[in-house]
Amino acid sequence: MTTLFRGSREQIMSTTRRRFLRNASITAAAAVAAPSIFIPSAREAWGATLDTGKPIKVGVLFSLTGGLAVPEEDSALVMQYAIDEINAAGGINGSPIEPIIIDAMSDMNVYAQRMRELIMRDKVISVFGCYTSASRKAVLPTVMSQNNLLFYPTCYEGAECTQNTVCTGPLANQHSKDLIPYMVENFGKRVFFVGSNYVWPKESNKNARIWLEQAGGELLGEEYIPLGSSEFGPVLNKIRAAKPDFIFSTVVGSSDIAFHRQFRQAGLSADSMPIASLTTGEIETRAMGNEYGAGHFLSAPYFQALDNPTNQRFVENFLSSKYGKNGTTHYNMEETYTSAYVFKAALERAIAQHGMEEVTPRLIRDAAAGVRLEADISPEGPTWIDEQNFNTWLVPKIGQCQSDGSFKIVKQASEHVAPEPFSIYPDAGICTAEGLQLPNGSVRTNVI
C-alpha cells in the first residue's frame, strides 16, 4: 500500500486557540450561509477514471495534531488498518486502495483547503474524515460543488440532507433519546447541560431538551465552552451552585479531558453527580486517566467490551498491529472502520452495475443505499445504510465507565433504530435520496 502523508507532528506547528476559534466560526458560518452551489455532472466534476489493477485513491482527512487529535488520530490509524485489511484480501475488483492521509491540524480552514486539494488536485474518488460538525460543514461546499463523496464516520446532530455524504455514526434519535430518560430514571430529574461552542452540541441539546421534558426532567443551566478551551472553573462553580442530579455533556476533544479532570479536582463525584456524555469513550478515558472517567456514562453504538467474535477479533488484531499504538478501540474508530467496508461494498456494486471505468463518486453514493454489513464484518453487529437518507441503522447502547477504563453496557435497544435526520423537525420535510422533500411536494437538494 502506498501512503502519502502531508504534515507530520514534527513538521506542523500547533495552531493557537485564538486562530482555531476564529477559523472555526468563520468557515462554518460561510458553509452554512452558502445560498446555492453549482453541481456539475459526476464525470465532469471528478475528471478521472478507475482502471482495474491500478490504485483507487481515497482521502483520509482527520486531525493528527491540535485539540481534536485525541479522537481523530485513532480514526486515521484505524482507516489505514481497514485499508490494509481490504488490500490484503485482494482489494476492490483487483485494485488496491491508496490512501492520501492529511493532517487537518484541528483548523477549520485547513479542513476546507485540504478537501479542495484532495478532490481537485489528487482526484480521490471519496474522502473519509472529519469528527466535528464544524469541520464537516467546512468541507461540504467543496464536496457538493465537485459532486464527490464524504464518508462521515461519527455522531452528528442531523437537520441535514445532502446527496454527497454517507454517515456511519448515530444521529440524535439514536443517541441521546435513550440516554436522557435513562439518566432521569436512575439518578434524578435535575440536569445541567455543558457543551463545546459549535453547532453539534447546540443542536444536540435542542434534541435533549425535548427528551428531557418528555421524561419529566428539569434543565437547571446550559453552558458552552469555546472549542479547544481547557478552562472550566466558572462552569463548575455554576454546576456546584445548581446541584444537578447529573450533567449532560457534549464537550469534545481535549476540552473533554480537561472537563473530567477539573470536575473531580473540584471535589465533585460521579457517585452523586455523574456525567452523561455523547463523546467520552475509551480513548478520552485513557487520555485523562481511568480514575477521572470511572462512574460516568456514554451513549454509543459501539464499545470495546462488546462480547462477540467479530469484535474480539477486531480488537485483538488492531491492537497488535502497527496502528494500535494507543492501546484501545473506540466508537469513532469502529464507525470509521465500518465506513471502509461500506465503501468497498458500494464500489463493488457500482462496478457491477456500470463497469469500473464509468464509476464516479456519485454512483458509489447511490450504490451505498441499503448496503448491509453483517455480524462477521461489523464489530458492533449488523448495520445497514438507509436507502433514502444514507445514514445508518444502529442499535443504541449506554455504557458506564469502570475503574479500568472499560465500559459496562447497562442498557441496549432491543432492535435497530432507524436514523431520523429531522426527528425534532417533523414539519421540515423528509430526507430522500433525491433531496429534502418539503411538505408541499417540492424537493431541495443538498440541505446543510
Residue that the C-alpha cell 485539540 belongs to: 67
CB-CB neighbours of 113 under 10 Å = 17
pLDDT tens-place string over residues 206-224: 999 999 999 999 999 999 9
CA 123 to each of CA 43, 97, 115, 206, 228: distance values in angstroms, whole numbers, following the listed order: 11, 13, 11, 38, 32
Is residue 44 pLDDT above 80, yes or no?
A: no
Per-residue pLDDT at 46:
78
Q: Point out which residues pair with 264 in neighbouring strands.
A: none
CA 88 to each of CA 85, 92, 96, 124, 197: distance values in angstroms, whole numbers, following the listed order: 5, 10, 9, 21, 42
Is residue 26 pLDDT above 90, yes or no?
A: no
Per-residue pLDDT at 38:
54
Distance CA 306, CA 408 (A): 9
State the pLDDT confidence band at 4, using cuts at 50, 70 and 90.
Answer: very low
CB-CB neighbours of 267 under 10 Å = 8
User: Which cell goes with 405?
Assistant: 477504563
Please tell me the least confidently modeled range out of 36-40, 230-234, 366-370, 406-410.
36-40
User: Which cell goes with 147?
Assistant: 459532486
State the pLDDT confidence band at 337, using cuts at 50, 70 and 90.
Answer: very high
Distance CA 96, CA 55 (A): 5
CB-CB neighbours of 121 under 10 Å = 9
pLDDT tens-place string over residues 278-318: 999 999 999 999 999 999 999 999 999 999 999 999 999 99
Q: Are 140 and 150 in contact (CB under 8 A)?
A: yes
Mean model confidence pLDDT for the chain: 91
Distance CA 120, CA 26 (A): 23
User: Which cell goes with 129?
Assistant: 474524515
Residue with the bigger pLDDT between 306 and 41: it is: 306
Type of residue numbered 310: T
How many alpha carbons lie under 13 Å from residue 174 in its C-beta half-sphere?
28
CA 388 to each of CA 5, 343, 359: distance values in angstroms, whole numbers, following the listed order: 35, 17, 20
pLDDT > 90 fraction of the chain, expressed in percent and rounded: 88
Type of residue numbered 179: L
Per-residue pLDDT at 45:
76
pLDDT > 70 fraction of the chain, expressed in percent and rounded: 90
* Residue-range domains of the chain with CATH: 4-170+309-395+423-444 (3.40.50.2300), 173-300 (3.40.50.2300)
**183-198 in b/e burial notation, b at 16+ Cβ within 10 A?**
bbeebebbbbbbbbbb
Distance CA 4, CA 6 (A): 7
State the pLDDT confidence band at 245, using cuts at 50, 70 and 90.
Answer: very high
